[in-house]
Structure 1
Amino acid sequence: MTKNRTALLFPGLGAYSTGMLRQAAREHPEVAETFAEIDRAAAHHGVSSVTQVVLHGEPRPIREMLSLPTEILQLAIFGASVVTHRVLTAAGLRPYALLGHSFGEMAALVAAGAFSLADGVRLVCARAEALADWEGKGAMAAIGANEAVTGHLIGALDEPELVIGCLNAPKQTVISGPVEAIERAGRAAKALDLFYAKLHLPYASHHPSARAAVGRFLGLMDGIEQKPLEHRVYSPVHGRWYSDSDDLKLAVAECMVLPVRFTDAVRDLHAADTTVFVEAGALNALTRCVELTVPGVRTIAPLLDPADETGGLRRALVGQADPPKPRADNASVVVAPVEIPAAREPELGKEAVLAKLRALYSTALEYPEDALTEQALLEAELGVDSLKQTALLSRVVEEFGLPDQPGELRVWELPSLGAIARHVLESSARVPS
């Protein structure tokens, strides 16, 4: 008999959403309590209030967050994962497994009780400090291909410093390496009609060149106490369940240089009767990868819609899948070029921009234009994954002549055609004719 087990997924460094947790905080006191704990611990490391940034004042888009000290954004992401776990388990959820992706392993281990929340904050700050010397010296990019094809691409380029950093879904592989090598791989991928998107990360994670950072990280963890695990934690980096006999500080440090085999981990959990996967954090990057890896399971991303976080958390408690997402018949195709006249004329209006955007997205995704309404959420409602959105936003920049650099726009800030149209209008007004 199927056990219908639930796994909580703890995302990595991309899991930030403008205004996240504000609605949830009105109903769940755990939100404010957890961030108050994080603030107290972070103050010992010279980090200012994360609560003030996440829960108070005007919601901050990712660009503003990136301009703040590194620890602020990382603690916000870490805190969102810990809060999601706390709210769900306090309400009675008993997950079969906790699964962290890269940076997310620290939150998973805190949620499992292996480290206190204060020590988890220390881990986040120590990791950021350990990697500081590597910032700007490497990059990462997603390729729309499986491991074998991506490996052949790296081999054909004769780029020995390029490595496979993450296997996220059957046809989503992330490469890691020097900036110039990543860019050459991007040109080759595009020539082969493979999807390519450079990730917004300041260094080459999961790359052996950062081996020295492992020792530095371990030194900064000195004095942190490891406690018995209260939940089962499966590591997609080490490919197995963690146990109390593991040196979990070393395991977390090794996550910086070893590849993430998320696809294998999801299949292992699914084989053990895990049929419900819940994103413990903002957005739905991991649940989308799960859907591509083991179709037919139930996936819930409670914090995906900032206006319905409490509803999302309720769905997670009962294992109710997120609302159905209409998809194009050929949703896995690589986005094709679309010719659209640049919209730079002074009389450009919102309806004209929306019409051009509908034409672009409809042709590229093979969706009917009437499905592409102003308010429809591209990922949550229409099933357009973040990689395709990134590619399309680059085309929006090019076709509308915007001042943004291609690939610079964040999909979680522009979740609908209405939001994209507003950005086009605002940016066009700043562009000299």
Structure 2
Amino acid sequence: MPTQPATAALFPGQGCSLEGVKPLVQRECPDLYELCLCLLDADPFERSGDSTRYTQPAIFLASIARWRGLVRRGVRAGAFAGHSLGELSALTAAGVFSEPDGLRLVALRGSLMAQADAGGDGTMMALLKGDMGQARVLAERFGVTVANDNSAGQTVLSGSGEALAASALAAREAGLRAVQLDVTGAFHSPAMRPAVEPFRRAVANVELGVASAPVFSGLTAEPFSNLAVELSEALCAPVRWRETTLALARLGVERFLDIGPDAVLAGLSRRNVPERAVVRAEELDVTA
């Protein structure tokens, strides 16, 4: 039999679609779904548009449900990475966190981030057709933060709604596309600083397992080495996704597998590492 290509499993963050995934979660992860109802005192899928407090657990459940299906069909990964929230999904899939502990941390993360920006008008905006240099110029000019370096043609800014509206006008004048993101806070910016220390303490108190393969941090674009610090500091630091996918390619990854319910990470991977194979979970028929 031919050997399976070295595969990196990629787990999505906020911004991915949750349409139609609840039945999959109830079928693949009834235990985690029931735990989530107890943790939130609400159904995260029914309230995913209300607050990041609900969105994050819903995405985590969808990711783990898909991963369970993949593993049952014999898929294995030689490396893991997650975009923002997806880091916790990746660490759970790799066996560093138990699934219940991973869900508890995600629920806490969502709650802390919602509290950090409560009452504010924080939001995020994608810049398309630009580069990091242009994003940094806009960030400095309008007092916002570069939150994501996703690909050569996509960065994300985070800040107040007013400042991002002004940034969008300037971006369009410079020939860039500015797209408002459907999020409820200024994530990966200094606005999240109040969430850092309580989340660090929570991660530090969780019993850790041994990773089945390297898990890459979006804070450093390297394998995690100080989990509690890196996961917590990432809340108010940029996601270095472009660098992370390039680092995975240098590691020898030949196939990038998007675990998300849409094609966001697959699309970014095709731009960042066009010479490597990119597949989506649906293409492997994990929901049959």
Tell me the TM-score normalised to structure 2 length: 0.88
Q: Tell me by how many angstroms 1:189 deviates.
A: 0.7
Q: Map of 1:223-262 to 2, 5 A cutoff?
A: 223-243=205-225, 246=226, 248-262=227-241
Residues 265 and 70 (structure 1 numbering): CA distance in 2 closer, same or farther, change over 3 Å?
A: closer
| Deviations 1:340-381 (CA, angstroms, capped at 9, x unpaired) | xxxxxxxxxxxxxxxxxxxxxxxxxxxxxxxxxxxxxxxxxx
**SS at 2:124's partner residue?**
strand
The corresponding residue for 1:165 is 147
**Amino acid paired to 1:118:** P
| 1:147 alignment partner, one of 127, 132, 147 | 132
2:95–2:210 CA contact under 8 A, matched in 1: yes
2:39: which partner in 1? 45
Q: CA deviation at 1:315?
A: 8.7
Q: Which amino acid aligns with 1:76?
A: A
- Larger Rg over CA atoms: 1
Which residue type is aligned with residue 217 of structure 1? Answer: F
SS at match of 1:300: strand
Deviations 1:21-41 (A, max 9, x none): 64xx4xxxxx54643221332
- Map of 1:409-428 to 2, 5 A cutoff? none
2:122 to 104, 122, 138: 138
- Percentage of pairs with the same residue: 29
Instruction: For residue 225 of structure 1, give the secondary structure of its aligned residue in structure 2.
Output: coil
CA distance in 1, matches of 2:169, 2:70: 44
Q: CA offset at residue 95 of structure 1?
A: 1.1
In structure 2, the CA distance between the partners of 1:289 and 1:235, relative to structure 1 (3 Å rule), is: same
- C-alpha spacing 1:86/1:288, structure 2 compared with 1 (3 Å): same
Residue aligning to 2:106: 124
For 1:12, the aligned partner's letter is: G
Q: Is the aligned partner of 1:275 residue 2:276?
A: no
Paired with 2:101 and 2:36, the residues of 1 have a C-alpha distance of 10
Moved more, 184-193 or 229-238: 229-238
In the alignment, is the contact (CA less than 8 A) between 1:300 and 1:315 conserved in 2? no
Say if 2:53 and 2:114, in contact at 8 Å, map to a contact too.
Answer: no
The CA deviation string for residues 129-182 of structure 1, in whole angstroms up to 9 with x for no partner, is 212230433121111211012223334xx33x3121101110101111222111
In the alignment, what sits opposite 2:16?
15
Q: What amino acid is the match of 1:240?
A: E
Separation in 1 of the partners of 2:56 and 2:286? 27
Q: 1:212 to 1:6 in 2, by over 3 A?
A: same
8 Å CA contact 2:127–2:177 kept in 1: the answer is yes
1:206 alignment counterpart: 188
Larger relative contact order (Cα-Cα within 8 Å, sequence gap ≥ 6): 2
- Distance verdict in 2 for CA 1:222–1:289, change over 3 Å: closer
> Within 1, Cα distance between the matches of 2:267 and 2:230?
26
Counterpart-to-counterpart distance in 2, 1:270 and 1:3: 16
Q: Distance in 2 between matches of 1:202 and 1:186?
A: 18
How far apart are the structure 2 equivalents of 1:290 and 1:3? 19
Tell me if structure 1 keeps the 8 A contact 2:158–2:164. yes
Deviation at 1:212, TM superposition (A): 1.9
The one-letter code matched in structure 2 to 1:267 is L
Write 1 or 2 for the structure with the bigger share of strand: 2
Look up the SS of the partner of 2:42 in the other structure.
Answer: coil
Between the aligned partners of 1:287 and 1:46, the Cα distance in structure 2 is 30
The CA RMSD measured in Å over matched residues stands at: 2.5
Tell me the secondary structure at the aligned position of residue 281 of structure 2. coil
Give the residue type in structure 1 aligned to 2:284: L
Tell me if 1:36 matches 2:21.
Answer: no
Aligned partners of 1:37 and 1:117 also within 8 Å = no
The amino acid across from 1:234 in the alignment is F
User: Higher mean Cα deviation, 186-195 or 210-219?
Assistant: 210-219
Question: Paired residues, what number?
Answer: 282
